[in-house]
Structure 1
Amino acid sequence: MRRRLVVVFLVPLVAILLSLGGATAWSATRSIQQAFYTEQLGDLGYFVTSARQALRSGSATVIDAEVTRFHEVYGIDVVVFDLSGGTWAAGGGSDVVPDDDAERVGLALSGRRAEAPEPVFPWGAAESSLVEPVFDDGDVIGAVMLSADVEAPRTRILQQILVLTLVSIAAIGLGVLLVFQLARWVLSPVRRLDEAMIAIERGEMDTRVAEDTGPPELRRMTRVFNGMADEIERVMTRQQEFALNASHELRNPLNALLLRVEHLSTGLGDDWKDDVEETREEGRRMARILETLLGLARGGRADTTMSAVDLSTLAARRADAWREVASQRRIRMHSPGAGAVMSITDRTIVESALDAVIDNAVKFSPADSVVEVDAHRVGGRCVLTVRDRGPGLTREQAANAAERFWRSDDSGDVPGSGLGLAIATDLLESVGGELHVDSPEDGGLLVSLVLPDGAEG
């Protein structure tokens, strides 16, 4: 917006300054040329009078000395022609007359007076010549041609153009400075709005903009913005209160459930030992999720606990945890569990993100298919992958799959809100990770959870 405003102000300003500078330069050029022409006419008038007397007397001695001296002092050539067109007296110049000058001499001998020269650019001509007929009692008896070098007026004109150019450049520079200051002043309320929006994006929900500054149009925008910020703050506060209350309400039933599991486990045989341990682990994981939720509700972000995590082991455990749910849909969970893949990350966040992806894969996989959960290292990063054999997505659909509330047109009656992959994406971003959705050529969907690398142990 600032660029457009500067262009709107600056282009007309520069055009006006250039037009004024060009007009002034042309006027100065015409003025100097006019002064030079007037001076030539004065000199020409003097020599016409002297030539009339010399031509009457038939002696060229006096006029010859005058034109010679005039050439020596001023460097201007004066040539006197008789009625036949022959050179009668010349002051230091050549007797050969150029064709253009010869034509004008002929016109002057026919009685035609000299005309004002057309305006030319200073570099357009090297010499200026004027021819005036010499009359005696109304009859033409000769002609006088005066030829002067235009170097002096050309120098003055170029000096004037140089001065005007420097003044124009200075004026344009001052204009540019004023335009930028004007644009800054006009856009200052918009800039304050922009800074306030950035502050709110950083989590400073109490940021507001003064409503009594700026033009009336922007004051209304400021009031609307402050109202919107108030509403967002109220919504965020209600969400935090809800998450806080829900976390507190769930903590007691969860603790009671874990105690009930411990009590029941005392009456079970060794055959139930693995199932009891898995139940305990799921309960502890739910407790960690609740703690994360409490951190989000209190401070607006989770207090991540970064540690070395073996993603290969994590993938195998989460595959085992989903095995019972998947088997109800006749889907097999498979995790190769090759070597250790260590990453410095938050275990709870990664588990939650992986669960969201596995839930999506199980939901859309057909019966008697396999969902593969694996971990490996690619370059300097660790990757958790979930591969299903569902209907898959096109490349365009895969690019949108991680957006909130996005669902494929082919999802049909499959339950869901379109938030699973979006939640997984947000969780991974909080620990510096990424989520990629790809459509393999042989069908299904490949979701990759990319995490920072860590030392093997």
Structure 2
Amino acid sequence: MRSRLAAIVYVPLALVILLLGMLYAASVTRAHQQEVFLDRLRDVTYLVLPARQAIVADDPSLVAGDLARYREVYGISAAVVDQSGATLVAEDLQVHDYAERHAALAGRRAEMREAFWPWDAQRIVVAEPLFDGGDLVGALVTASDAGGVQRAIWQSWALLGAGGVVVALLALVLADRTAGWLLRPVRAVDQAMEKMGGGRLDERIPPSTGPPELQQVVTRFNEMAERVEHLMRRQQEFVANASHELRNPLNALMLRVESLALTVPPEDADEVAHVRAEAERMAEILDALLLLADGGSMGVAQPVDVADVVARRVEGRRLLDPDRELRLARPGGEVLGLVDPTALESALDTVVDNAVKFAPAHELVDVAVVRGTGTVEVSVRDRGPGVPSEQLDRLTERFWRSPGHSSVKGSGLGLAIASELMTAAGGGLRLELPDDGGLLVRLQVPAWTED
């Protein structure tokens, strides 16, 4: 964006510089030509008197010496012609084809030609009519090589081009700095939003030196950040208070249930078991709710051997439920991913618990670790009843349960917890329905490399 904005600023400046340079180049060319013309005109004015005397006296020697000296000193050819156009005296000059000669013999004074480009100039011709007592008696014509004025024009253009390049570079720097000045508040907002997304809710943007409109955006962003931080702090306080206020009474209730179980008659033991199960279910729901509420507060992502983490959690699940067969497939060696290990373990436990819950007791639950391109994937596959394809996207919604599984114990928070944990850890969760039934859950985390 900075380059595009700099181009928007620079292109008009470059066009203005180019236009001014062309106008100045034309002005410099005209100035050099005018300087040479005026110099020749002064020389002609000096030579007019002896040239007129030579024509009146019909004596070429009166002006021949001056023309020869003029040719010797300045290298400029000259000639004097009478009223009929015949050449009276000439110093290395043939004047018959010059338009300036005809104009002078018509009584018109010398005028500078229209401005010419240096590559078009060949000779500079100045012709002045000669009058005697008001009568036209002839003309004085000078012709000089245009090489000197060409070199002067080219040198001036070279200096002008060098100066134009310097000015263009300065304009480019100015455009880039201007674009940076305009975008500085935008860049600051982007960096602050990135840091806030990473958990730094106290991030604020200092007053910017950008344009007033973007300074107002910075002010609004800081106000929004203050509000977000306040709301998040209130949420964290609620989580802490809920954990304290709900868990303690629930633990006390479970203790009372256990005490009651020791005193009730045997025929009421089933009722006590139901109460105990409901209390345990309430504890599970409370843990899930607290975990969801605090899901964005995960640890820092770090290089983790995903295969080792998965192997440990699968082995722990086997020890907890030895009757359930879990099959683990993993590649050899380390499989490094960039993730918070606690988030990965919690999400994997939740997904495996969900698979075990819905898979028939005699069916395998497959867990696999796959090293992909840029990602590491942990898949958990059960062979349970699955869900209709139109319900697949709703499995990660909080408290949503498939109507076909309403009789299965649960709160509808398992996959929602796993999804939010993986998202907070920088990864993701994807659900698929295999062709032969069941549900396939893929936990994906970024791969870690030395680079």
Provide TM-score, normalisation by structure 1. 0.63
Q: 2:127 aligns with which of 127, 131, 134?
A: 131
Q: What is the CA distance between 1:42 and its match in structure 2?
A: 2.0
AA in 2 matched with 1:300? S
The answer to whether the aligner puts 1:385 opposite 2:379 as a matched pair is yes
Separation in 2, partners of 1:129, 1:417: 106
Separation in 1, partners of 2:135, 2:414: 112
Separation in 2, partners of 1:295, 1:157: 80
Quick one: structure 1 residues 346 and 34, their matched pair in 2 at CA, closer, same or farther if it must change by over 3 Å? closer
Contact 1:315 1:373 in 2 (8 A): no
AA in 1 matched with 2:124? S
Any idea what SS the aligned residue of 2:81 has? strand
How big is each residue's C-alpha offset from its partner over 1:226-255, in whole Å with a ceiling of 9 and x where there is no partner? Answer: 332232122212332333345454488579
AA in 1 matched with 2:378? L
Show the counterpart of 1:67.
67
Show the counterpart of 2:239.
243
Q: How big is the alpha-carbon RMSD for the aligned residues of Structure 1 and Structure 2?
A: 5.7
Contact 1:391 1:443 in 2 (8 A): no
Quick one: structure 1 residues 182 and 432, their matched pair in 2 at CA, closer, same or farther if it must change by over 3 Å? closer
Same amino acid, percent of matched pairs? 36
The answer to whether the aligner puts 1:79 opposite 2:96 as a matched pair is no
AA in 1 matched with 2:122? A
Provide TM-score, normalisation by structure 2. 0.64
Show the counterpart of 1:30.
30
Show the counterpart of 2:221.
225
Separation in 1, partners of 2:403, 2:41: 100
Any idea what SS the aligned residue of 1:59 has? coil
Any idea what SS the aligned residue of 1:240 has? helix
Contact 1:80 1:88 in 2 (8 A): yes
Show the counterpart of 1:448.
442
Separation in 1, partners of 2:180, 2:227: 30
Any idea what SS the aligned residue of 1:203 has? coil
Bigger mean CA offset, 214-223 vs 63-72: 214-223
Any idea what SS the aligned residue of 1:147 has? strand
Separation in 2, partners of 1:112, 1:429: 93
Q: What is the CA distance between 1:136 and its match in structure 2?
A: 4.3
Contact 1:205 1:233 in 2 (8 A): yes
Contact 1:81 1:87 in 2 (8 A): yes
How big is each residue's C-alpha offset from its partner over 1:61-103, in whole Å with a ceiling of 9 and x where there is no partner? Answer: 343332222122111111333455454432234x4x685x2x4
AA in 1 matched with 2:123? E
Q: What is the CA distance between 1:207 and its match in structure 2?
A: 3.5
Q: What is the CA distance between 1:423 and its match in structure 2?
A: 5.0
Separation in 1, partners of 2:46, 2:158: 35
Structure 2 unmatched ranges of 5 or more = 262-279
Show the counterpart of 1:301.
298
Output aligned runs, 1:29-48, within 5 Å.
Answer: 29-48=29-48
Contact 1:82 1:141 in 2 (8 A): yes
Bigger mean CA offset, 342-351 vs 111-120: 342-351
Separation in 2, partners of 1:3, 1:87: 69
Separation in 2, partners of 1:6, 1:168: 19
Separation in 2, partners of 1:18, 1:198: 43
Bigger mean CA offset, 83-92 vs 209-218: 209-218
How big is each residue's C-alpha offset from its partner over 1:89-141, in whole Å with a ceiling of 9 and x where there is no partner? Answer: 32234x4x685x2x443444444443321012333313211233444455544
Output aligned runs, 1:25-174, within 5 Å.
Answer: 25-93=25-93, 95=94, 99=97, 101=98, 103-137=99-133, 139-174=135-170
Q: What is the CA distance between 1:184 and its match in structure 2?
A: 5.6
